[in-house]
Structures are given as C-alpha cells and as structure tokens.
Amino acid sequence: MSEATIERNHRKVYQGLVVANKGDKTITVVVQTYKTDPTYKKRIKYTKKYYAHDETNEANVGDTVRIMETRPLSKTKHFRLLSIVSKSVQI
C-alpha cells in the first residue's frame, strides 16, 4: 500500500502554434489537422483554435506548444499549457 498510483482518464494532447497571448494567463493556440473527404477520399487540411491556460505567462506569439485537455477553467478555456516545444525568435 506504499505505492498508490492514481489512474487518470485519457486526456487529449495537441501541439500547435501560439497566435495570441493578449489575455492574462490565456493563450490562443492554432492546431492544424487533416480530415478525409467522404466523397473524394482526399485529405483536407483544416485548423482549429483552442484557448489554453498559461499560469506563468511564459508562452509568446510564434511559440510551438503542447496543450492538454482539462476541466473547464472558464467559458471557453478547456485546455492548459503542458510544455513549450520550441521558442520563436523575437526580433
């Protein structure tokens, strides 16, 4: 009983590009994925925006980040920042 592991349900993890960080502790991440067209069987690229919680305000515009699904933090925020994959070059 000394080692207790807590099983968590499966949470979605996405990787995307930060396009806005204007809100306090909030970033907007664009995730690019593919869908298959049912008629023509062709892969179509599409993007979707997610709002994520950034507790320390460390992500900047242009950074590539990983976000993970979490409980609802506000009306629109259902993801939190997991890690920053690569930083953007600020000029």
7-62 tens-digit pLDDT: 778 899 999 999 999 999 999 999 999 999 999 999 999 999 999 999 999 999 99
48-59 tens-digit pLDDT: 999 999 999 999
The CATH classification of domain 13-86, taken from the options 2.40.50.140, 3.90.1150.10, 3.30.420.40, 3.40.50.720: 2.40.50.140
Q: Cα-Cα-Cα-Cα dihedral of 57, 12, 66, 42, to 10°?
A: -130
For tokens 């993890």, the residue is: 13
Phi, psi of 73 (to 5 degrees): -95, -25
Do 31 and 45 meet the contact criterion of CB atoms below 8 Å apart? no
| Every domain of the chain and the residues it spans | 13-86
User: Quick check: pTM over 0.85?
Assistant: no
At residue 3 the predicted structure's pLDDT band, cuts being 50, 70 and 90, is low
Cα distance between residue 69 and residue 85, in whole Å: 17
